[in-house]
Amino acid sequence: MIYLILTFTFLFAFIFIFLVVVLNFVSEFFAKQNFYGITDKHKNIFLVYLIKFSEIFTPIIKNIEFKIFVDYLNKVDQMLKTFNFNSVKINSYNFVFIQIISMIIGSCISLFIFGFDFLFMICFGLLFLILPYLKIYEQYNKKINEIVKQIPDVANLLAILVYSGIDFNNSVNKITVLLDGTLINELKDVLKKIVLGIDTKVAFKEMAERYNIVQLDSFVKTITMSLDIGTGLTEGLTKIAKQISDDNVAIAEKKAHEAPVKMLLPMTILILPTIFILLFAPFVISFFKSGSLF
């Protein structure tokens, strides 16, 4: 009975993946032939179909009310807000469904390689289950670190431009032309919102809320307070740039001091056993061959 259920599950997953791949190929072919309207060439059609299919199971996932699972969904939502999936809207429920599909694919791989070995199927399934989360977690941390490093440069340059007599919005626009990076892309989105009529302070606050970074919050609060009260924006930006630069230096020094301690574990696990093998292997071989250590 268990084998029958597993067979139907894997067969269903295989048919679903096959259909999605075929639909993706057909859609891209028609788009290239321009058989229908204007299409978004950058949109991942595979992801679109996968998300649409996941909406069927969203009510089931929403009914799971375990605190750990709800906290996990909130954390995933926080990370997904910072990504741009090329006009594709994806939430934590879609992401959990993608993880489940990934787990089934991992189990299928184990099934084809090792047969019906439950230990390997569970291991491969768990590995493929956490791979999507590890991917977005890595990218999320990478974006955060890049933003924290860019804030001092952006703040200093913005202070110089404002001090030279350029108004705030034009100063931000010039920065987006001169520099590049994650924070610059966020500033471009802020400028687009301002052009659409959204208040400058609201646009900057929305940017800060998406990332929930202390340094970015301080940077945005300095700007919004200066726009509200009318205090010197140049002085505030210069101070916040120096403070964040000092914090970045302190964090780098802390990581440098922690590096030797972190190296102890791989040295203990990988290097020391190899050294012991090289030192004592001749004695062991000699003992088994002649019955003596020499």
Residue 267 pLDDT grade (very low, low, confident, very high; cuts 50, 70, 90): confident
In three-state form (DSSP H/G/I as H, E/B as E, the rest C), the secondary structure along 118-159 is: HHHHHHHHHHHHHHHHHHHHHHHHHHHHHHHHHHHHHHHHHH
> Is CATH 1.20.58 the classification given to domain 147-249?
no
What per-residue confidence (pLDDT) applies to 259?
Answer: 76
What per-residue confidence (pLDDT) applies to 12?
Answer: 58
pTM above 0.75, yes or no: no
What per-residue confidence (pLDDT) applies to 73?
Answer: 87
What per-residue confidence (pLDDT) applies to 117?
Answer: 75
pLDDT mean over 101-126: 81
- Full DSSP string of 13-65: HHHHHHHHHHHHHHHHHHHHHT-SS---TTS-HHHHHHHHHHTTTHHHHHT--
User: What digits encode the pLDDT tens for the residues 149-168?
Assistant: 888 888 888 888 888 888 88
Better-scored residue on pLDDT, 278 or 133: 133
Question: In terms of C-beta density within 10 A (0-12 exposed, 13-18 middle, 19 or more buried), how is residue 277 classed?
Answer: exposed
Better-scored residue on pLDDT, 31 or 96: 96
**For the chain, what is the mean pLDDT?**
77
What per-residue confidence (pLDDT) applies to 47?
Answer: 67
User: What digits encode the pLDDT tens for the residues 208-260?
Assistant: 888 888 888 888 888 888 877 766 778 888 888 888 888 888 877 887 777 77
pLDDT mean over 268-290: 75
User: What digits encode the pLDDT tens for the residues 46-92?
Assistant: 667 677 777 777 787 778 878 888 888 888 888 888 887 655 678 88
Better-scored residue on pLDDT, 126 or 282: 126
Residue 271 pLDDT grade (very low, low, confident, very high; cuts 50, 70, 90): confident
Better-scored residue on pLDDT, 3 or 166: 166
pLDDT mean over 88-117: 81
Whether 292 has a pLDDT exceeding 80, the answer reads no
Domain spans of the chain, in order of start: 2-116, 147-249
What per-residue confidence (pLDDT) applies to 102?
Answer: 83
